[in-house]
Structure 1
Amino acid sequence: MSGIHLRHWPGDADRPALALHPMMGSGAVFDRMAAALDGRLDLRGFDMPGHGKSGPWEGAEVDFHTAVTRVAASMIERPLDLIGHSMGATVALRIAVAAPEAVRSLTLIEPVLFAAAPDPAQDALDARLAELLATGEDQEAARVFLSAWGLPGMRVGPEAAAQIRLVAETGPTLREDAARILRPGGLEAIDAPVLLIQGAESPPVIGAIAEVLAARLSDVGRAVVPGASHMLPLTHAAEVAGLVGVNLDRA
């Protein structure tokens, strides 16, 4: 796919790693975390289409989640440490299920795989977003979304209004598991150490998802960051980096 902006946080060449950012963000979400890791990883990433410095999403023969997964997979040349946040964490998990041999360690920060743990509050939020998008109120839809999943007081500009349509496009994968990430035997086939990180102040569905995933993973740890909510790689970068380091030690 053309127009993808690549990112690189140089470090130990013997520990290649890939970081996958959330929707309505960019690879810059990991700047502080990468700095706190202090070169321990040779970390790479990219801005998803329609995000950050990448070109706009113009559609493809596949859905948005699959397109992002293909970009990420194309950057894997040998087993590496895979880190994902939010939607990026679901892409990381999808790759690990499809090719467990490609993953040295897997760190999932607040994976939003809602199909794992259906939640009435999330259903209500999604229904509200669908209603707003159906009436062309994209700016308000972006505001509603970010009030739940963004930073407090986050400005909702034209870029966010455009990206909210991409958020809606991920629904079949995140809500219905169209990519079959949860298929029988899939999670169980991951033999790399997995760490599930969540913020203590995040929506309850995050903990429910982590509980379901952890029950099926063979080598898994869980961590809760006090005082943090969904955007903890930005707000609690040092704590997240420390936890990533713990998982690296296990690999």
Structure 2
Amino acid sequence: MRDDLRSAAFVQQFGQGPRPALGIHCSLAHSGTWAPLMAALGGQLTMTAFDLPGHGRSADWEPGLWGGANYLGAATATALELLRQAEGPVDVIGHSFGALVALAAALEAPARVRTLTLIEPVLFAALQDGPHWPVYLAESAPFRTAMQAGDAALAAELFVGLWGNGLPWESVDARQRGNFIRRIGLLAAIAPANEGDSAGLMRQGRLEALAMPVLLIRGDRSPASIPAVMEVLAGRIPGARLEVVAGARHMLPLTHPGEVAALIAGLLSRG
């Protein structure tokens, strides 16, 4: 890994399977969230996973330190460096914002990606100029208001309430609540990518050029904007398979690892 990324990113591995994989976690989480899914996959993969900038045990988000001028670009640079180091093509799995990073890396280095799994990618820019954009704005309005007011505690509570596992905020461990509150400001750094498509992921012809097997996974109890995003992506990525996990919310890799693992195992047989 490049010296700047080596000093900034915390990286760990899960599993001892024959195929290399790269896991990219969601916002406000850390690479350790892949442990349940990797256990459910039963030794099919050896996953390398890193903590996103400012998350887990990685360094704080500072553009110069991470070698990128914007958050998505810096996270993607780390993913690309790990893909470069791997022996052969890699099964790439991303969740939520991590799925945007996974998609950006696959578009940048398609020859390094064996299969691509995108679990509820929060590419809200896919909804702009369509009937579902007002739905997204409405569901995120309370969170936006709290952020604009500088109320980090309320913003974190609202964000976790919408995008978490469905448990009440009061039931979340106090230490974890503190971590969410400290990191909630990172959502402002992410917004240009998932709302404004600053990386041009939705530009005409880009998604259509993906040739590796692609799996899209969502829960059937996730926020209303997610099914709309997934339908747009499924309609533009050639041969993409869209699967829905019953009873699952946005955090389905943690809450439904067995179901998600079974879907990924099916993808691995195709790639």
Q: TM-score, normalised by structure 1?
A: 0.94
Partner of 1:139: 153
Q: Note if 1:116 corresponds to 2:120.
A: no
> Which structure 2 residues correspond to residues 163-202 of structure 1 after superposition, within 5 A?
163-202=183-222
Looking at structure 2, the residues matched to 125 and 68 of structure 1 have their Cα atoms a distance apart, in angstroms, of: 27
Between 1:49-58 and 1:34-43, the stretch displaced more is 49-58
Which consecutive residues of structure 1, in runs of 5 or more, have no partner in the other structure? none
Looking at structure 2, the residues matched to 96 and 24 of structure 1 have their Cα atoms a distance apart, in angstroms, of: 23
Looking at structure 2, the residues matched to 242 and 75 of structure 1 have their Cα atoms a distance apart, in angstroms, of: 25
Looking at structure 1, the residues matched to 112 and 41 of structure 2 have their Cα atoms a distance apart, in angstroms, of: 22
Looking at structure 1, the residues matched to 249 and 144 of structure 2 have their Cα atoms a distance apart, in angstroms, of: 24
| Structure 1 residue corresponding to 2:77, chosen from 67, 70, 79 | 70
The residue identity in structure 2 corresponding to 1:132 is: A
Q: CA deviation at 1:128?
A: 3.4
Looking at structure 1, the residues matched to 141 and 219 of structure 2 have their Cα atoms a distance apart, in angstroms, of: 25
SS at match of 1:76: helix
Partner of 1:27: 31
The residue identity in structure 2 corresponding to 1:51 is: H
Partners of 1:11 and 1:38 within 8 A in 2:
no
Partner of 1:153: 168
Q: CA deviation at 1:47?
A: 0.9
Between 1:118-127 and 1:16-25, the stretch displaced more is 118-127
The residue identity in structure 2 corresponding to 1:9 is: F
Looking at structure 2, the residues matched to 85 and 143 of structure 1 have their Cα atoms a distance apart, in angstroms, of: 20
Between 1:53-62 and 1:194-203, the stretch displaced more is 53-62
Between 1:209-218 and 1:156-165, the stretch displaced more is 156-165
Looking at structure 2, the residues matched to 243 and 224 of structure 1 have their Cα atoms a distance apart, in angstroms, of: 10
Partner of 1:209: 229
Looking at structure 2, the residues matched to 124 and 59 of structure 1 have their Cα atoms a distance apart, in angstroms, of: 31
Q: CA deviation at 1:112?
A: 0.5
Partners of 1:4 and 1:54 within 8 A in 2:
yes
Partner of 1:17: 21
The residue identity in structure 2 corresponding to 1:55 is: A
Partners of 1:188 and 1:218 within 8 A in 2:
yes
Q: CA deviation at 1:127?
A: 4.1
Q: Provide the aligned C-alpha RMSD in A.
A: 1.5
Partner of 2:42: 38
Looking at structure 2, the residues matched to 179 and 58 of structure 1 have their Cα atoms a distance apart, in angstroms, of: 19
Q: Deviations over 1:162-198 (max 9, x none)?
A: 2111112111110111100011111111110101000
SS at match of 1:36: helix
SS at match of 1:181: coil
Partner of 1:88: 98
Partners of 2:80 and 2:109 within 8 A in 1:
no
Q: TM-score, normalised by structure 2?
A: 0.88
Q: CA deviation at 1:135?
A: 2.4
| Structure 1 residue corresponding to 2:114, chosen from 104, 108, 114 | 104
SS at match of 2:195: helix
